[in-house]
Structure 1
């Protein structure tokens, strides 16, 4: 005996895919980026780092810009 197929209650969509991100899918990478950026922006914490003066100057400008 053949099995019956159930009729669809809503039409099949052929459009784009509806993807929704959870809040933590954006919050966790942002938090990790900020956590890794903080030691770079505070030169007093970087005791062993002696970088190029141009890079140090750029980072200091970026820190001053973010402080305002």
Structure 2
């Protein structure tokens, strides 16, 4: 005699909490990252850029490679 299988009315969940992020929780960190990246890659706009010339040269090379 075979036993009947019971189907679930809803899909099985892992028992965890369903997490939904609002749109700004993804956009704001991405926007902040892009702004900081632009500031780093354009060192000629910095007023107090008196760092080591080798570091400035490295950032300029990275910027040139990314612009291509």
TM-score > 0.5, shorter chain as reference: yes
Corresponding residue for 2:23?
23
Aligned-residue CA RMSD in angstroms?
2.7
Structure 1 segments unaligned to the other structure (5+ residues) = 1-9
Which structure's relative contact order is higher, taking Cα pairs within 8 Å and 6+ residues apart? 2
Question: Shift in Å at residue 66 of structure 1?
Answer: 1.9
5+ residue gaps, structure 2, are: 1-9
Q: TM-score, normalised by structure 1?
A: 0.60
Where has structure 1 moved over 6 Å in runs of 4 or more?
A: none
TM-score normalised according to structure 2 size: 0.60
The total of aligned residue pairs comes to: 60
